[in-house]
Structures are given as structure tokens and as C-alpha cells.
Amino acid sequence: MEMEEKVKREIKILRLFMHPHIIRLYEVIDTPADIYVVMEYVKSGELFDYIVEKGRLQEEEARRFFQQIISGVEYCHRNMVVHRDLKPENLLLDSKCNVKIADFGLSNIMRDGHFLKTSCGSPNYAAPEVISGKLYAGPEVDVWSCGVILYALLCGTLPFDDENIPNLFKKIKGGIYTLPSHLSPLARDLIPRMLVVDPMKRITIREIRDHQWFTVGLPRYLAVPPPDTAQQVKKLDDEILNDVINMGFDKNQLIESLHKRLQNEATVAYYLLLDNRLRTTSGYLGAEFHESMESSLSEVTSAETPSSAAEHRQHAHMESPGFGLRHHFTADRKWALGLQSRAHPREIITEVLKALQELKVCWKKIGHYNMKCRWSPGFPSHESMMHNNHGFGTESAIIETDDLSEKSTYIVKFEIQLYKTRDEKYLLDLQRLFLRRVEIGLEQLGFES
């Protein structure tokens, strides 16, 4: 009965999550005698065994693991979940040595204005306030555990360890540990800021993200905080939807089930296909996001013509991670995701729509400051295709015609989303990119699109 409560808690929480560095739950089959939990297959075992086998890791490798862990933990906190048992034994590795956070049996839901008080987790990784039985909000105890994990990655040992439990607790409550001399100055700065006994003075996830040690070589898909579950459910993949519908499932029922987060054969098929495709990118925004960012927006000047921009994007698509031709960028190169502005969001969107109208781009509003766009040199004039689409508040549909591909050399489809970032800035992000001519070319070469 104790295990049943633990499993049901884990099921309840994992059903919320869709993140590349959190273990995926696909289906739960509950029978009178058993509960079958169908989860993502992770073949390379625990991070704990990896550390034991290799000893302390080089900073570059440790940083890669740590960046993935922090991204997953941040996602949990954004969805109001605190893990409370973060340790290398609960961090699994897939076939590409990417981290998958697992074992949410001790996790709990955070509520505004409410504190947690359960003393749980593994003593070596537990925060001082947890082992002391004090009240805690949640995120700060995960930050402490992440600090212990980072120490273990870089040092091959634990900062707090003693066979005598009272002595161990004394060390943890006093924050008594030593930093090896081989650590870099930035690592020696970050770890003590995470292992602060006073939770009010402990570094936050946001501050960890901004730390110089953390930002070195940060992958682009981890550079922007992940969308929460509610946002992800709204964004359905048309290609995967069609694949599932072709299996014989009803389209309306499938879409309704996905929006309501129901678990049935159709939704399981959808998420299996989706994850299998996104697994090539290790990014929650998928391959299209990587393709759209392959040529940095900062390099596209105002003098660039639509045709040259499209050629830029076509080249980016051909060398996307989905086709095994991932670029290797130097660690010290700075990347700017999208265009940042301090202007009012309505002013930003108004300027965007003016630019789209001038370029004869068709668009459809799909959410707050979020729209799907399509552009092709073969389109008729913008005015003849769109209806009352001169303000962001109006709805319109992207015109779909069967003979469109015959009139145009290629079609570019993309999504625009305006995000609010820290420091009261707004980020205009290009989230998707699709080039019909490239896909046709790949099919002719024998590749599957």
C-alpha cells in the first residue's frame, strides 16, 4: 500500500510533463491486481554508475549534464512541482548520454502561500532545512540537491558524507565541506552559492542560468526557459496528427483527447511518434526550431530580399540536426535568440504585421502574440488572399489550395511568438520553419520527409 501511493503520485505528476530531460510517461494500465506503467526506454543506466566508472568528470562534460538537469528542474518548478529527491541515482542516461530526470515518488505540488514540511529524500543530498524539519517552499531544496550533484560531477565524491548519520547531519546543517583545488574559479564560485545553509540567501534557478560557468556552450534549445504544459498542449504537430489519423483514428476525437490530456491508444501513438522525431534534436521545440535558428536572425539585414532569405533558410534546413549534419559551434560564440525589444508588445506585433504585409506573407492568429505564417514567391497579392488582417486582434485563415505548389518554387511556413523575458524585455522568436521544395528534393534522393 505504501508503494501504491508513491506510484500514483509519480503517475499524477509525470502525466503533466513533456520535456526532453524528464522521463516520459506514455500510458498507465490499471487492473485490479496490477498497475502497468509504460515509460520511455532509457538504456544507459544511472548517472551515479557513470560517475563511479569515470570518476570526476571534465568540466565540459559535467557542465553539459548540469545544464540539462537545471533545464528539467526549472520545468518542474514552472509546473509547480518540486522533486525533493534529486540525486545521480535518479538521473538516467539515454543512448546519447542525455539526462532524464526520473523517480518523482517523493515529489509534491507547490501552491502559492503554502509551505512543505515533509522530511524526505536521501540524507547526503537533502537541504539543511529538510533534515531539520523546518518549513520550506520547494524550489530551494532542489537547488541544494543540484549543488551536491554538481560537486559530485566535478569532484567524483560527495561534499557531505559520513557513516555516522548524526555527524552527517551536523556537516549539512553547518555547511561544512571542502572545495578541491582543481576546480576552476567559476566552478568554485557557483557551488558555494548553491550550498548556502540559509535558503533565503541560496542562489535561485534563474540566477544559476545567468552564472558565467553555466552559460558556457549552452545549447540553443536550453537557452530559453521551456514552455509550461498548458502552452505545449495547444501546439499540435499537423504532420504527426495526420500520421495518427492515417492509422485509423478519428481526427476530432484525437485533437480533443490531446487538448484534454486524455490517455488512450490515439494519444499514446501521437506522443510516441512525436518523441521519436524530436529525439534526433534533443530539443523540446523540435527540429524546426533548430532549422529556423541555423542562420541567425541577426545576420539577416534589412537589405536582404525575400528570395535570398529563403535561400538562407533552405541551406539551414538541409544541414539541420534531423539529417545528422549538426553544426559544431565554438563554446565562446554568443547567440542571440530572436529579436529583443523593450517596446510595448502591441507596438512590436504591429511592426511585425506591417513587415509581413509588405512581404505578402499570409498569417493566422493561433494565440496571444502567436501566429502561423506562410510565404511563397508564387502567392497572389496579400490583399486578395487575406481578409481584414491588418490588426492583430482579427482572426483569419491561411489559404490552402491544392495547386499552390505548382505556382511556387518553394513554400516557407513558420510560427512567430512574442515572449516576455527577464528585465522587462520582449523576445520575438521564430519557432518553426518548413520548406516544401527541400522536402520534395529529399524524397527524390530516397530520404523520408
Distance of CA 315 to the CA centre of its chain: 25
Q: Which of 133-147, 327-341, 395-409 has the highest mean pLDDT?
A: 133-147
Give the contacts of 163 (CB within 8 A, at least 6 positions apart).
none
What confidence score (pLDDT) does residue 128 get? 94
pLDDT at position 190 is 97
d(CA 341, CA 427): 7
Q: Which distant-in-sequence residues (6+ apart) come within 8 Å of 322 by Cβ?
A: 277, 280, 281, 287, 290, 291
Active site annotation includes 94: no
pLDDT for 319: 31
Contact 193, 202 (CB under 8 A): yes
Over residues 37-41, the mean pLDDT reads: 88
Bridge partners for 99 per DSSP: 93
Residue of higher predicted confidence among 277 and 407:
277
Query: Alpha-carbon distance 86 to 209, whole Å?
Result: 18
Backbone angles phi, psi at 98, to 5 degrees: -95, 145
Please, which residues have CB within 8 angstroms of residue 375's CB and are 6 or more apart in sequence? 306, 310, 359, 360, 361, 362, 411, 412
Name the phi and psi angles at 434, rounded to 5: -140, 130
Ranges 4-13, 74-83, 111-120: which has the least confidence: 111-120
Cell of 234: 495547444
Q: Which residues contact 18 (CB under 8 A, 6 or more apart)?
A: 24, 229, 232, 271, 284
Closest residue by Cα to residue 127 from 178, 77, 186, 86: 86
Distance CA(274)–CA(254), nearest Å, equals: 14
* Residue 180 DSSP SS3: coil
CB 34 within 8 A of CB 7: no
Q: What is the pLDDT of residue 115?
A: 80
Kindly indicate the confidence band of residue 431, based on its pLDDT and cuts at 50, 70 and 90: low
Active-site residue identified among 34, 49, 85, 161 = 85
In the chain, count of helices (H) and strands (E)? 20, 11
pLDDT, mean of residues 348-362: 88
What is the reported pLDDT for 12? Answer: 84
pLDDT score, position 52? 92
| Domains of the chain, first to last | 2-221 (1.10.510.10), 236-284 (1.10.8), 292-444 (3.30.310.80)
State the cell numbers at 439. 522536402
